[in-house]
Amino acid sequence: MVCEYDKDKKELVIKYDGEIDHHTCDIIKVKSDYEIQKYSPKLVIFDFEKVKFMDSSGIGMLLGRYKQILRVGGRAEMINVKKEVKRVFEMSGIFKIIPMVEKVGV
């Protein structure tokens, strides 16, 4: 996981890598929470470009981060969602909560 923060725009991009499943979610939660608390961004962008697999525990992890983002007064978006991961998101209905966008910050 790599994080990039733009202090002028108050945007935090969290770039996930590999697989997001019940084995990796706890580590991802801790790291993501730390970055969100550190910067209190207005926008958090979840980048899934390098995610190869995701299961339902990843949905729960994202919803938890979304709630944390709301607590700091921000909003969230998703970018670079691959076909395999997009299918899991569509079945869960998460796009109704966290929108998928084509460009960062749109």
The pLDDT of residue 5 is 96
Which stretches of the chain drop beneath a pLDDT of 50? 105-106
Tokens read off for 37: 């608390």
Residue 46 pairs in a beta bridge with 14, 78
User: What end-to-end distance do the CA atoms of the chain give, in Å?
Assistant: 22
The pLDDT of residue 106 is 42
Q: What is the mean pLDDT of the chain?
A: 94
> How far is 88 from 48, CA to CA, in rounded Å?
13
The pLDDT of residue 103 is 65
pLDDT in tens, 68-80: 999 999 999 999 9
> How far is 103 from 93, CA to CA, in rounded Å?
21
Among 65, 49, 45, smallest CA distance to 105 is for: 45
pTM of the model: 0.92
> How far is 53 from 7, CA to CA, in rounded Å?
31
The pLDDT of residue 94 is 96
Q: Residue 67 carries which side chain, given as an amino acid letter?
A: K
